[in-house]
């Protein structure tokens, strides 16, 4: 995972932890909340991995039971090793495996972000995350005005919070951090929306950011 991608994921968690007006937070507050966020990620990853292990054990038990109770093995002598049997309904098995893969991928991602944020050699993650928060603190009115302007009549206070935070991070990067290519910022904002928000969020986020880019003459 690239450092700035990890920083955007961490910034999204950081923004979700804000409980008061952004101007009331200091840089130290941002750092403390980020540390708390990393701990949340690590604990979440640990729990999800435990769920995956549990699901794998259940799947193995189910397969062993199916094999043992198959008619070709019921007639075998006591103590004889079971013969492998075909599984007639693969769709159910594939569904279970897909669910476990999804949980495992999220856990791995969470651990990668936590690792990036805590390794001294990867201080770029911490610095970039804090920079996004600091820039948003300085320019939160302009950023929220951009979101309001292009939200087609929606009151910004009624937007899905996850969508609003993703837009705040991306617009802050586009207009005030300017440390990454425009396309990368937009693509990763859309991916965050797909991963963490509603079915319609990615197209909504993409549409807002496209207007911000055009109106501000960004390339």
Among 33-42, 63-72, 144-153, the range scoring the smallest mean pLDDT is 33-42
Task: State the burial class of residue 11 (Cβ atoms within 10 Å of its Cβ: 0-12, 13-18, 19+).
Answer: buried
Show the tokens assigned to 167: 């837009």
**207 is in which domain, residue-wise?**
3-215
Q: Are 59 and 95 in contact (CB under 8 A)?
A: no
- Please tell me the distance from the alpha carbon of residue 130 to that of residue 7, in angstroms, as a whole number: 9
Q: How many domains does the chain have?
A: 1
pLDDT per position as a tens digit, 168-189: 999 999 999 877 899 999 999 9
pLDDT per position as a tens digit, 151-170: 876 667 778 899 999 999 99
Determine the pLDDT at residue 210: 94
Determine the pLDDT at residue 187: 95
The percentage of the chain sitting over the pLDDT mark of 90, rounded to a whole number, equals 31
Determine the pLDDT at residue 126: 81
Averaged pLDDT for residues 123-144: 90
Question: If you count them, how many residues does the chain have?
Answer: 219
- Please tell me the distance from the alpha carbon of residue 192 to that of residue 100, in angstroms, as a whole number: 21
Show the tokens assigned to 52: 């995956």
- Helix (H), strand (E) at residue 26: none
Chain-wide mean pLDDT for the chain? Answer: 82
- CATH number of the structural domain spanning residue 10: 1.10.940.10
């Amino acid at each position: 995972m690239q450092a700035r991608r990890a920083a955007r994921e961490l910034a999204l968690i950081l923004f979700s932890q804000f409980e008061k007006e952004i101007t009331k937070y200091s840089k130290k507050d941002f750092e403390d909340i980020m540390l708390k966020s990393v701990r949340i990620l690590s604990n979440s990853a640990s729990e999800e991995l435990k769920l995956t292990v549990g699901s794998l054990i259940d799947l193995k038990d189910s397969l062993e039971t199916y094999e043992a109770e198959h008619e070709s093995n019921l007639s075998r002598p006591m103590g004889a090793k079971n013969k492998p049997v075909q599984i007639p309904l693969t769709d159910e098995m594939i569904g279970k495996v897909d669910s476990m893969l999804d949980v495992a991928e999220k856990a791995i991602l969470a651990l990668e972000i936590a690792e990036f944020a805590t390794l001294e050699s990867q201080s770029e993650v911490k610095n970039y995350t804090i920079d996004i928060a600091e820039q948003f603190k300085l320019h939160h009115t302009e950023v929220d005005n951009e979101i309001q302007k292009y939200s087609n009549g929606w009151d910004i206070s009624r937007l899905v919070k996850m969508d609003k935070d993703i837009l705040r991070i991306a617009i802050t990067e586009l207009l005030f951090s300017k440390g990454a290519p425009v396309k990368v910022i937009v693509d990763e904002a859309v991916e965050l929306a797909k991963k963490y928000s509603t079915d319609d969020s990615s197209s909504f986020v993409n549409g807002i950011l496209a207007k911000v880019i055009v109106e501000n003459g960004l390339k």
